[in-house]
Amino acid sequence: MGVWRRWILPITRLVVLAAIAVALVRMAFFGQAAEEVAQVPTGSVVESQVAASIATVVNDVTVKGSIQPDPDVPVKATLQGKVSKLVAGQGATLAAGDPILVIRQETPVDPVVAADGTVTPSKPKVVTETVTAKAAGSLVELGVLVGQEVSVGDAVGLIAPPTFRATAPLTAEEQYRLVTQPTTATVAITSGPAPFECADLRVGQPAASSAEGAGAGAGAGASGGPGEGSTGAAASTGATVSCAVPVGTRVFPGLAAEITVPAGEAPDVLTLPTTAVEGLTETGNVWLPSESGAPEERAVGLGISDGKVVQITSGLQEGDMVLEFVPGAPVPEEEGMTMQGGYGG
């Protein structure tokens, strides 16, 4: 018993501790090296590809904007002279053509001299002109008084039309997608009436200020600046899209609106994702994989696009494989979690 406790048990403990120490050293050094070796990839990178395929492209351009009142229409003097009568007062509701005021012009006439030298004064030549409303609406401003001198073209008042336009800003890409000029659009108002069709669609014109819009309205009635509309400048162009809200549709200035412009449909055509094409209007470039490893650039003809896929009109056949992403172009955010290439065995 004494020999067991004094010699055998201590020696056994030393052997066990030594074995543990050796195992720890092996795990600390040799195990990590093996793991690092296992993580070294042995395959080659393969770029993601996509095939040209047949699909239907519906080119509806949808933009967010707001409801805006048509610009005020100025009332302008049409004769040089004095205001002789105010027919309508400020705040009056007018129809197009209603009289607003009368201007009287007196032009002196030379006196008549008789044979005996008698001079008879002549009455002045009198011309009157009635200034009328160029558009229906409320006479929100009347800035002249009876007896006041005015000249042709002077602004003497303002008419606020009771009409509205849905307006939104357009980016350059959206303008390029509008390859045709539709005449109507569909408007949906947040928390408002059901979506409705609006006419007098205007695309690509810069948004007009109140004063500029009013000047245009004086000649042709109320009109708002078009554009992919909206309050605020378009992302890159300053252009807008707008259409007239139908009379009788109850809206208010500033309401959020979504305008959908139908810009064409191409059924059963050859298409590619827009990520695979450099350029989105008329002509573009795609890259085809090649045996040499370097992709081959090829020019293609382009048709309409819905923002996600684009019609290919020439340069490719159905089933042709191209790189899914243009070389050097940033990968779309939705693709951020998937690599353009993978490991091949």
276-314 pLDDT, tens digit per residue, is 999 888 899 999 988 887 888 999 999 988 889 999 999
Q: Please indicate, yes or no, whether the overall pTM of this predicted structure exceeds 0.75.
A: no
217/93 Cα distance (integer angstroms): 17
Tell me the sheet residues that pair with 131: 101
**φ, ψ for residue 80 (rounded to 5)?**
-85, 130
Nearest C-alpha neighbor of 257 from the set 70, 72, 62, 71: 62
pLDDT of residue 35: 53
The structural domains of the chain, ordered by start, are: 46-58+266-332 (2.40.420.20), 61-70+162-264 (2.40.30), 75-160 (2.40.50.100)
> Cβ of 151: how many Cβ atoms within 10 Å?
9
pLDDT of residue 313: 92
In a 13 Å sphere around the CA of 174, the CA atoms on its Cβ side amount to 26
Neighbour-count burial of 169, counting CB atoms closer than 10 A to its CB (0-12 exposed, 13-18 middle, 19+ buried): buried
Q: Report yes or no: 140 and 88 within 8 Å, Cβ to Cβ.
A: no
In order of 35, 43, 44, the CA distances from 38 in angstroms are 5, 13, 16
pLDDT of residue 191: 86
Q: Report how far apart the first and last C-alpha atoms of the chain are (Å, whole number).
A: 65
pLDDT of residue 39: 60
pLDDT of residue 218: 35
Please identify every stretch of the chain with a pLDDT value under 70, giving residue numbers as ranges.
Answer: 1-7, 30-46, 205-237, 331-345
pLDDT of residue 187: 95
